[in-house]
Every structure is written in C-alpha cells, then in structure tokens.
Amino acid sequence: CKSFDTSDFAEENSLADARVHQPKIPLAAVDASTVPQLELDPGNWWSHGRTWSEQRFSPLDSINTSTVSRLGLAWQADLQSHRFGIEASPIVVNGKMYVSSSWGRVFAFDARTGKKLWMYDPKVPGAWARQGCCKPVNRGVAVWKGKVFVGAYDGRLIAIDGTTGKEIWSANTTDSKPWLTITGAPRVVNGKVIIGNGGGDYGTRGFFSAYSAESGELLWRFYVVPGDPANGFEHPEMEMAMETWNQDRDWSVGGGGNPWDSFAFDPELNLLYVGTGNGGPFGSWNPAGGDGLFLSSILAINPDNGRLAWHYQTTPGESWDFTATQHMILADLEIEGRRRKVLMQAPKNGFFYVLDRETGELISADNYAYVNWAEGIDMTTGRPILTEEANFENQARLIFPSAYGGHNWPPMAWSPETRLVYIPAREYGFVWGSDRITWFMTGHDVSTLTDRDLEGKLYGQLLAWDPVLQRAAWTVKFDTLTNGGVLATAGDLVINGSEDGYLRFFNAKNGEQLHEIFFGTGIIAPPISYSVGDEQYIALGVGWNGPKAEPLGPDTTSKYSNAGRLVVLKLDGSEVEPADKIQLQPFMRDDKPQDADLIAEGVARYQQHCAICHGVVGEDTVVPDLRRMSQGVFDAFDLIVLQGLMEAGGMASFGDVLDTEDTKAIRAYLVDWAQRSRKGDQRPFPYDAESQKKVPKLSVPGA
C-alpha cells in the first residue's frame, strides 16, 4: 500500500488521542453542534454507518487480532421476528442502543446489560407484506435531539421519544400508495430527517423527502424520475431528466428509481448523497426508452433546499435491476499525488466507482465482479460500454452480475488504516429475457439458454478492494452465495456474517481467518462495535431474510430456527449457543397423479405470486415450504389465499388477483412437487420440454 502519504497517519494518530477523552453526549443533545464530538468518541455508533461518512469503521481496538478468539456472549435479545430477516444496524449513543426489526419495530436497550428499556411497534397491517419485493425488513433507525426515527414498512416515518418509547409524530410519506414501502434507515442531516422508499420493481415512481425532525412537517421532496409531462414538473431537475425519457411512454406506470437504501452526508460540503434504484417494472427492457435519469445514479443534493448539485448515472437505460442504492463511503484518498475527497460505491452492476464528491467527476471505475454486460467504463464519457450480451430485448440472455448484484445492500466497510474497502460481494448470473419463464429461474437450467458455463462463477466472497489501484488486495471465497454486511475495526479486524449462520473474523491486512462463531441462524445484517466504560462490544442482528432463489446454499435455514435476535459479544463473555434446531414437516402425502395442464398453470401462478416469499426451490425457505403443508392448511387453502385468514402474520389475501381456479392449479402443482420431492426430484417444476411448453408466460408480480 504505497498510495497514500504518511502525513495521513500523523493526523489520524492525533485524532486517536483526542478520541479517548470525549465528553459523553446524551441522546437529548445529539444535533449538528455535537456530531463532531459524537463521532470522535469511539464508544458511539451514532449514525447508520457510525458516522455521516458511512465508513463502518470502529476506532476501538481491545478486540483485535490477538484477543478475538476470547470473544463470547455479553447479552442477547429477542427482536420478535422469525419470518423475516434482521437487516438493521444498531445505533449506540452514550451506552444506550436503538435497533429495529421487521415491519419497523424498534427496541431500546441498555447497551451494557441488555436490559430492555422500551419497544415500539408501528402496527403495520400484515397485508402490507405483499406490497414489496423483499419482505418487510428494516435497516435501522436514526437519532436526533432525543428522538428516534424509523420508517415503517407501510410508508410512515415515525418519531419516537427516545426516553419513553412513545410516538411523537408520524408522517405518511407515501400517501399509502400501493407497492411503495420503506425498508431503509432514515438519516438526519441538519435537523432534517431524510427518507426514501422501495417499489421500483413494481413500476412505482421513486422519490425521497426531508421532514422536520422537530415537527414532522414535509420540507422538500425530490422525485428520482419524471412523471407524466402533461402534469408539469415538480422541480427543475425533472425537466432536465425528461429529456432522457421517451415522452410517449405509458406514464400511468412509474419508472422506478426508488432510493430504498443508501445515503451519506458531507457536512463541510453540505452535500447529501443519495443512491437511486433500478428502472421499473422489473424485467422490462429499457423502461425509460433512453438513459432515464435519474435511474441507478448517485445524486449530490443540497439538504437545505433539496436541489441537485451534481449527478452521476452508473447504468444509463437501466434494465437489469442494477440499482445504485448500494452503500456509499466518503473518504479522502491520495490519487496521483493529489488528496481527493471521494465517494466510493460498488453498486449491483459489478463496477467499483470512485467519484470526486465535490464535483461528481468520475475518477476511476473498474469491475470488482465478473461482468458480461459491459466491456468497461469509458473514462471520457463516464458511460459503460455495453456488450451484445447485455441486450435481452428479443432474446433471453444470461447476464453477469445477477439481479442480486455483484454486491447488494449489505454494507461494505472502509479501514482508514489498511486503506481498503471490504465488500460483501458475489459472483452470480441471472437469466433475463422476454420469451421465457425467467425471473425465478436464476441459476436453474440455464444450460438450455446459453452455452456459457456457470461452473466456477457462483460464489459469495469477501473482497478487500484497493480503491486507488482499483484491484483486490485479497479475497476470501465462501461456499455460500450471500454474506452479510461488514465491519472493519482499529483492532485490524474485518467481521462478516453469512447465510450459513457463522460470524467470521479476518485479519484486515491479509484476509487470514482468525476466528468464527456459529449462531445457527443465517446472518445478513452488518455488525457494529461500541464501548461502555472500558469494555468493547460487537453487536449484530441475526435472522435470515430467506428464501433464497439460489441453487447453492447451506441447509442452516432448514435445520435451525430463524429466531431474529440481537447478539452482543465481548471478550471473555459466555458461550454462544446456536439457535434451536427445528424439525421439518414431512412432504404432503397425497399420491394421486395431478393433471398436467393444471400443474403447468399452477407453476405459473405459484412463481408469479407465491415464490417470492415461499421459495423458488423449496428447501431453503424460512417462510413455510408449501410442499410440507399440513392437511389443515391444505383444507383451508382458499380461506388463507383468497380471504386472508392468516393476514396478521404477513400472509395477505390474494383474492384480488387469484380465484378458485387459480388456487386449484396451485394446489395441484404443490401436490405434484411434493410427490416428485419425495422421490428425490426437488426441482421446482418438471424440466422436460413438453411440461415447460405448457407453462403460460409470466408477468411481474403486482405489475
């Protein structure tokens, strides 16, 4: 690592001294004037990525490469979430922790003892579970002047009293429009709560908004994509964006762009950075009919008035679910002899971008994952150079990276000491196309579509990326496809959980694995670190957001309970007990052969409406595997599916899109699938050409 000069370290060392003696800031005093002290105090993790720069680096070092093997349990707490994953980053200020779980439930704990201080439930109606792609998860809360802010899944932004846990105000950010949901964590910038939404995959129109932290009043809103030009433009940036859209498109369908996860803030430049989402609806070829600003872009916004300072579009004409909502890290790098204030992102599309965060200038871009949709990035235009293989308009294509991304939302981390970015990445392809049952078929039977060999291009990895040299310093390959968010620490540790239920500790310098702890339950959330007194803690949510549409994958999710919980570790703590083992119910025992046409119809209906939660390939799911239905559930199938009998738990009624003919077909398919599974063929549907031909063409759920 020769790419930075040592004066960086001199500065950082004097910072390290300053850190130790910071006065404690209580939650009530968290505001713009105390943020510098909050960030210097290594005991805090006051904002989503610890600081506004979202580096996810803890300056604490008593848990380090030599002591890590002594880690044990400090305390753990139930987060009341079994069906849906835990994705939140806890916030810790002055020895108190605030963390969210599914639907937007919030818990406050004494960070040393684990004593529960309060719990807030936004009581989102269970039927809302149907209104999003990826289940009612929540990535965390934000704090400001004694309040805790959370985005509930149904679109409400809620301010909670940090002392009592009582609601102070609530703002309906989406007017309860269908298919708009909140999964991301808010950020608070200069007294304004910033919140986005998800829904682009269903063809909503994405936007983000700023609310007064004090009163909940809407201060400004920025639409990511234009609406019907007949209705005028809400703000000047929409007029500019319109030039990149086909004006004759169907404006009743929003174009996506939903900013469902990442923000960062530079207080010196007074710029808020926003990562925007893909073009919608999912699976449509170039829904914008042009570059489609501001799809899959990084936006720099003046938070005082919501006006755009600059933008960089990672994926013009976005068609592959290549969101740029992935985590953005702000840091200073020495590049070609100049100290640059940069923003770094590894969006789904497989390229690692280094931008000048003052101006938006593209400094460098190189692929961190295998990519076949673009040859590279043209450094004069900043645009990707598309390949023939990218175009699935008239023909199905196997495209790398997949819609899950070379890297998805689980956040990466930056260590100012090793000068490396640690990315929870994966190698994976996805079949896109208009003439096939595609979107659930990921990784299955792709050999019939293309001769490209998937072998060797399917794995998850932890990638230590040198952003100056734009190349990997080291990589660790996993047997599994999906690993969780990452934490880097001054103890020279990089910490990363995985879907196989292990939390692993690596040497930040070389990737050597130093230690691992087994939780039984799959991990997707990022760990954080904080201290109370002299004791350093590592905290993380465990809870798998299954199912996985993947051919790989451990059987952890089918063997252990998916009990969503917060786990806190410390040196010389007690032994970590894995989650309880569970017993899988047997496959349905009905032996009657089912009608082939009915099965084919059932395949289409199941994949269209059920698979997204109940599983594409069966076995792997933490939402009930329907091949294993009890007779009671089978008999009540129509009551559940068409009338919402189990709505409270998140199984909404589908009575508006399915009828009794459909449920008959779905049941026939499930019975057939259970029969085949019992005989050892677990594949989601018969792969012979005759059976496949019968399956009706699918459309995107909800669209």
Ligand X SMILES: O=C(O)c1cc(C(=O)O)c2c(n1)C(=O)C(=O)c1cc(C(=O)O)[nH]c1-2
Of 278 and 345, nearer to Ca ion (C-beta) is 278
Residue 414 makes CB contacts below 8 A (sequence gap 6+) with 55, 56, 57, 329, 331, 344, 420, 421, 422, 488
Only segment of 17-25, 101-109, 195-203, 510-518 that touches ligand X (CB under 6 A): 195-203
Q: Which residues of 283-296 are buried (b: 16+ CB within 10 A; e: fewer)?
A: bbbbbbebbbbbbb
Q: What's the closest the beta carbon of residue 536 comes to Ca ion, in angstroms? A: 36
Judged by CB under 6 A, the residue of 94, 364, 408, 621 near ligand X is 408
278 contributes a contact to ligand X by CB under 6 A: yes
For residue 411 the two structure tokens come to: 């956040």
| Contact string (CB under 6 A) for ligand X, positions 473-512, x = contact | ----------------------------------------
201 contributes a contact to ligand X by CB under 6 A: yes
545 contributes a contact to ligand X by CB under 6 A: yes
183 contributes a contact to ligand X by CB under 6 A: yes
Question: 183 labelled as ligand-binding?
Answer: yes
Of 103 and 409, nearer to Ca ion (C-beta) is 409
* Number of amino acids touching ligand X (CB under 6 A): 20
- Distance between first and last Cα of the chain: 49
Which one of Ca ion, ligand X, none interacts with residue 102, CB within 5 to 8 A by kind?
none
131 contributes a contact to ligand X by CB under 6 A: no
Give, to the nearest 10 degrees, the angle between helix 596-605 and helix 660-678: 100
Question: 139 labelled as ligand-binding?
Answer: yes
What CA–CA distance (Å, rounded) separates 590 from 677?
12
565-571 and 535-542 as β-strands: parallel, antiparallel, unpaired? Answer: antiparallel
Convert 410-463 into a string of H (helix), E (strand) and C (coil).
CCCEEECCCCEEEEEEEECCEEECCCCCCCCCCCCCHHHCCCCCCCCCCEEEEE
Only segment of 128-136, 310-318, 621-629, 672-680 that touches ligand X (CB under 6 A): 128-136
* Number of amino acids touching Ca ion (CB under 5 A): 3
Of 296 and 562, nearer to Ca ion (C-beta) is 296
Q: What's the closest the beta carbon of residue 612 comes to Ca ion, in angstroms? A: 12
Residue 436's closest CA among 179, 671, 685? 685
Only segment of 39-47, 133-141, 215-223, 576-584 that touches ligand X (CB under 6 A): 133-141
Which one of ligand X, Ca ion, none interacts with residue 87, CB within 5 to 8 A by kind?
ligand X
134 contributes a contact to ligand X by CB under 6 A: yes
Question: 305 labelled as ligand-binding?
Answer: no
Only segment of 197-205, 417-425, 620-628, 651-659 that touches ligand X (CB under 6 A): 197-205
The answer to whether the bond into 90 is cis (omega within 30° of 0) is no
Question: 192 labelled as ligand-binding?
Answer: no
Please check whether residue 117 is in contact with residue 104, taking contact to mean a CB–CB distance below 8 angstroms: no
Question: 408 labelled as ligand-binding?
Answer: yes
Please check whether residue 156 is in contact with residue 185, taking contact to mean a CB–CB distance below 8 angstroms: no
Given CA atoms 135, 580, 646, 600 in this order, what sign does their dihedral have?
A: positive
Of 462 and 508, nearer to ligand X (C-beta) is 462
57-58 and 483-489 as β-strands: parallel, antiparallel, unpaired? Answer: parallel
**Which of the residues 238 through 257 are near ligand X (CB under 6 A)?**
none
Question: 87 labelled as ligand-binding?
Answer: yes
In three-state secondary structure terms, 534 is coil
Which one of Ca ion, ligand X, none interacts with residue 432, CB within 5 to 8 A by kind?
none
Q: What's the closest the beta carbon of residue 88 comes to ligand X, in angstroms? A: 11
Question: 610 labelled as ligand-binding?
Answer: yes
Residue 429 makes CB contacts below 8 A (sequence gap 6+) with 372, 398, 399, 400, 401, 402, 443, 446, 452, 454, 457, 458
534 annotated active-site: no
Distances (CA, A) of 284 to 288, 320, 381: 10, 8, 26
In three-state secondary structure terms, 321 is coil
416 contributes a contact to ligand X by CB under 6 A: no
| Contact string (CB under 5 A) for Ca ion, positions 194-213, x = contact | -------x------------
Only segment of 121-129, 166-174, 401-409, 425-433 that touches ligand X (CB under 6 A): 401-409
What CA–CA distance (Å, rounded) separates 210 from 92?
23
318 contributes a contact to Ca ion by CB under 5 A: no
Cα dihedral 661/662/665/666 (nearest 10): -150
Only segment of 192-200, 224-232, 332-340, 361-369 that touches ligand X (CB under 6 A): 192-200
261 contributes a contact to Ca ion by CB under 5 A: no
Q: Which residue has 């938006």 as its token pair? A: 360
Only segment of 196-204, 302-310, 337-345, 561-569 that touches ligand X (CB under 6 A): 196-204
Question: 387 labelled as ligand-binding?
Answer: no
What CA–CA distance (Å, rounded) separates 524 from 506?
17
Convert 617-671 into a string of H (helix), E (strand) and C (coil).
CCCCCCCCCHHHCCHHHHHCHHHHHHHCCCHHHCCCCCCCCCCHHHHHHHHHHHH
Judged by CB under 6 A, the residue of 87, 237, 291, 499 near ligand X is 87
Region class of 419: left (phi > 0), else alpha (psi between -120 and 50), else beta? left
Catalytic residue among 61, 201, 291, 321: 321
What CA–CA distance (Å, rounded) separates 147 from 168?
8
Q: What's the closest the beta carbon of residue 259 comes to ligand X, in angstroms? A: 8
Question: Please, is 518 exposed, middle or buried when counting C-beta atoms within 10 Å of its C-beta (0-12, 13-18, 19+)?
Answer: middle
Which one of ligand X, Ca ion, none interacts with residue 134, CB within 5 to 8 A by kind?
ligand X
278 contributes a contact to Ca ion by CB under 5 A: yes
In three-state secondary structure terms, 187 is strand
Question: 156 labelled as ligand-binding?
Answer: no
102 contributes a contact to ligand X by CB under 6 A: no
Q: What's the closest the beta carbon of residue 479 comes to ligand X, in angstroms? A: 20
What is the per-residue DSSP string for 56-110?
-EE---SS-TTTGGGEEEEEEEE-S-SSS---PBPEEETTEEEEEEGGGEEEEEE
Of 143 and 295, nearer to Ca ion (C-beta) is 295
Question: 407 labelled as ligand-binding?
Answer: no
Cα dihedral 40/45/51/56 (nearest 10): 110
Rg, C-alpha atoms of the chain: 24
| Contact string (CB under 5 A) for Ca ion, positions 428-457, x = contact | ------------------------------
Distances (CA, A) of 424 to 353, 395, 520, 568: 16, 31, 20, 21
Please check whether residue 314 is in contact with residue 300, taking contact to mean a CB–CB distance below 8 angstroms: no
Residue 357 makes CB contacts below 8 A (sequence gap 6+) with 266, 269, 271, 273, 300, 330, 341, 342, 343
Q: What's the closest the beta carbon of residue 400 comes to ligand X, in angstroms? A: 15
133 contributes a contact to ligand X by CB under 6 A: yes
258 contributes a contact to ligand X by CB under 6 A: yes
Residue 416 makes CB contacts below 8 A (sequence gap 6+) with 8, 12, 55, 57, 331
**Which of the residues 320 through 379 are near ligand X (CB under 6 A)?**
321, 323
Question: 190 labelled as ligand-binding?
Answer: no
Of 278 and 607, nearer to ligand X (C-beta) is 278
Give residue number: closest CB to ligand X: 198
Only segment of 107-115, 126-134, 660-668, 694-702 that touches ligand X (CB under 6 A): 126-134
Q: What's the closest the beta carbon of residue 197 comes to ligand X, in angstroms? A: 7
Of 351 and 409, nearer to ligand X (C-beta) is 409
For residue 429 the two structure tokens come to: 């392809």
What amino acid positions are annotated as catalytic residues?
321
Where on the chain is the footprint of Ca ion (CB under 5 A)? 201, 278, 321
- Binding residues, by number, are 87, 139, 183, 278, 321, 348, 408-409, 610, 613-614, 651
- Which residues are annotated binding-site positions for Ca(2+)? 278, 321
Contacting positions for ligand X (CB under 6 A): 87, 132-134, 137, 183, 198-201, 258, 260, 277-278, 321, 323, 404, 408-409, 545
